[in-house]
Amino acid sequence: QQQVKQSPQSLIVQKGGISIINCAYENTAFDYFPWYQQFPGKGPALLIAIRPDVSEKKEGRFTISFNKSAKQFSLHIMDSQPGDSATYFCAASPKAAGNKLTFGGGTRVLVKP
Amino acid sequence: DVKVTQSSRYLVKRTGEKVFLECVQDMDHENMFWYRQDPGLGLRLIYFSYDVKMKEKGDIPEGYSVSREKKERFSLILESASTNQTSMYLCASNPSRQNPEAFFGQGTRLTVV
């Protein structure tokens, strides 16, 4: 049973376009929602993260939108670049469990030049 | 920069062998984690540790054990490797229960034949 469901599994976007990845969760104890970026042959690296006390967080071209009532959060990549081509994972963790992360299934993003 | 180092990038082992995967972090982090990564399933937690000599089961601990004799080192042990343990294994650490940002190693791709 996957506690964090991520969609789509893959995404192709033109350079300059917007990439949108969605995640939904069930566990209301989750209180930390990071997104990780992974390039081939590398481990995942933290991209951006949000707590449920805010509805949006922006860092450069990357924005997390968070909807607590719907138990959903999403990653928007604005002005997508070929260098953004990677696999993206959403994750969630409950503070009470010591920040043990539960990951979504991943989205492979390809940005075409 | 935080560095999480996994001892091997690629390993090929035979069915029934005992396999050791080693992970070392250099930032005095309290928490360490072992995940396996499979296409479409994201990262799944095998075991984690909050302190030296302490371990807790994650979501898929069957067939695995761990050892944490020193704070900086966390080992994953496959007692008797099986073909269904062919996967990418990722080690991660984070500073403390209060600081959830996790840092990952580059991964070990294990093939069991």
| CA distances from residue B46 to A46, B78, B91, B92 in whole angstroms, order as listed | 20, 11, 10, 12
Q: What is the pLDDT of residue A10?
A: 96
Q: Which residues sit opposite B36 in a β-bridge?
A: B44, B89
Gyration radius (Cα) of chain A, Å? 13
CB contact B103 to A (< 8 Å):
yes
Q: Say whether pLDDT at B2 is over 80.
A: no
Q: Chain A within 8 Å of B57 (Cβ-Cβ)?
A: no
pLDDT-derived band at B101 (thresholds 50, 70, 90) equals confident
Helix (H) or strand (E) holding A33: strand A30-38
- pLDDT for the residue numbered A98: 61
Q: Which two tokens stand for residue A22?
A: 């969605």
Q: Report the pLDDT averaged over residues B85-110.
A: 91
Q: Which pLDDT value is given to residue A2?
A: 63
The answer to whether the Cβ–Cβ distance between A95 and B40 falls below 8 Å is no
Distances (CA, A) of A100 to A29, B33, B57, B101, B112: 12, 8, 11, 10, 28
In this prediction, residue A15 carries a pLDDT of 97
Per-residue pLDDT tens digits for B48-79? 998 898 899 999 999 999 999 999 999 999 99
A17 to chain B nearest CA, in Å? 25
Residue contact B106–A42, C-beta within 8 A = yes
Q: What pLDDT shows up at residue B41?
A: 87
C-alpha angle A35/A36/A39, rounded to 5°?
Answer: 150
Q: What is the pLDDT of residue B13?
A: 97
Chain B CB contacts of A45 under 8 Å are 104
Task: Give B9-63 pLDDT, tens digit per residue.
Answer: 999 999 999 999 999 999 899 999 999 999 888 899 999 998 898 899 999 999 9
Q: Tokens for A24, please give them.
A: 């939904």
Q: φ and ψ at B61, to 5 degrees?
A: -80, -10
Q: What pLDDT score does B98 carry?
A: 75
Please, which pLDDT band fits residue B1 given cuts at 50, 70 and 90? low
Contact A79, A61 (CB under 8 A): yes
Of B35, B97, B105, the CB nearest to A99: B97
Residue numbers of chain A with a pLDDT score lower than 70: 1-2, 96-98
